[in-house]
Amino acid sequence: MCSVTEGFTVAIDGPAAAGKGTVSKAVAAHFGFAHLDTGLLYRAVGAKVLAGADPVDAARTLIPDDLENDSLRTPEVAQSASRVAVIAEVRAALVDFQRSFAARAGGAVLDGRDIGTVICPDAQVKLFVTASPEVRAQRRFAELSGKGIGDSYDRVLADVRARDARDMERAEAPLRPAADAHMIDTSTLTIDAAVAQAVALITKAR
C-alpha cells in the first residue's frame, strides 16, 4: 500500500474517455501537484507488445522515455494496453513506480483505473470520473476524426464497450469506484464544470 505521509495524494479513476485525464491535469495545475497518467504506463507496455515484446519483460524494463510517444494514443495501442493490464505480473511490475510517484512531497494526482482501490487506497481524496458509453464513444470518435483516423462511431462504441467489459471483469484489480470515492458523471457536464467539482472536493479535504 502506498504511503501518503510525504504529501497529498489525489486518486482519480474511471473508464476510457470519461474525462479523467483532462480533469486530472487541470486539478494538478490548479494545486501545483505533480501528475501521472498511469494509463500511459500500460499503453507503453501495450505498444511494446504490438512490436513483438513479451508483456512482462516490457513492463519490467519500462523507462520514462517510453511514455513520450505520440503513437501511444492510437486505438490499437489502447486495446493492447487493456489486454496487457489483465496480466497480474504486468500490474505488479508497475505498482512500485506508481506508489513512489504518489508519495512524493508537494502533492500528486494519479489517474487510472485502480488508483483508489489498489495503488493508493489511503489517498486523501478519491474521485471516480465516468460518463455513459455513448457519450464517451462520441468523444473518442471526435478525437480520432480530428486526427484523420477513420474509425466509424459504431466501431468506436464497440471498442469502448469491449474495453469496459475487459477492465471491469478482469480478476486482477478490476475497474470500479472505491467505496469512499466521490462520483463525477461528465455525461452532461462541461470540462470547466467537472474540474470545478473536483477542485471543490479536493479543497474541502485539504
For the chain, the domains span: 9-205
pLDDT of residue 1: 53
pLDDT of residue 63: 87
> Residue 14: what residue type?
G
17 marked ligand binding residue:
yes
In 3D space, the residue among 191, 19, 14, 5 whose CA is nearest the CA of residue 108 turns out to be: 5
E strand or H helix at 125, and its extent?
Answer: strand 125-130
**Backbone φ and ψ of 189, nearest 5°:** -100, 145
Answer left, alpha or beta for residue 173, where phi above 0 means left and psi between -120 and 50 means alpha.
left
Name the band, by pLDDT with cuts 50, 70 and 90, for residue 64: confident
103 marked ligand binding residue:
no
20 marked ligand binding residue:
yes
* Better pLDDT: 202 or 148: 202
Q: What is the pLDDT of residues 72-122, one digit of tens each?
A: 988 899 889 989 988 989 989 999 889 988 988 899 999 999 999 999 999
22 marked ligand binding residue:
yes
18 marked ligand binding residue:
yes
Tell which CATH classification among 3.40.50.300, 3.30.470.20, 2.60.120.260, 3.40.190.10 matches the domain 9-205: 3.40.50.300
* Better pLDDT: 2 or 202: 202
Q: How far, in Å, CA of 71 to CA of 85, rounded?
A: 18
Q: How far, in Å, CA of 158 to CA of 75, rounded?
A: 12
**Mean pLDDT, residues 30-36:** 95
Q: What is the pLDDT of residues 121-179, one digit of tens each?
A: 999 999 999 999 999 999 999 988 887 777 899 999 999 999 999 899 988 889 999 99
pLDDT of residue 86: 87
Q: How far, in Å, CA of 148 to CA of 115, rounded?
A: 32
Contact 10, 38 (CB under 8 A): no
pLDDT of residue 4: 47
Name the band, by pLDDT with cuts 50, 70 and 90, for residue 34: very high
Most confident segment among 55-69, 71-85, 88-102, 185-199: 185-199
Name the band, by pLDDT with cuts 50, 70 and 90, for residue 3: very low
Residue 5 has pLDDT above 50, yes or no: no
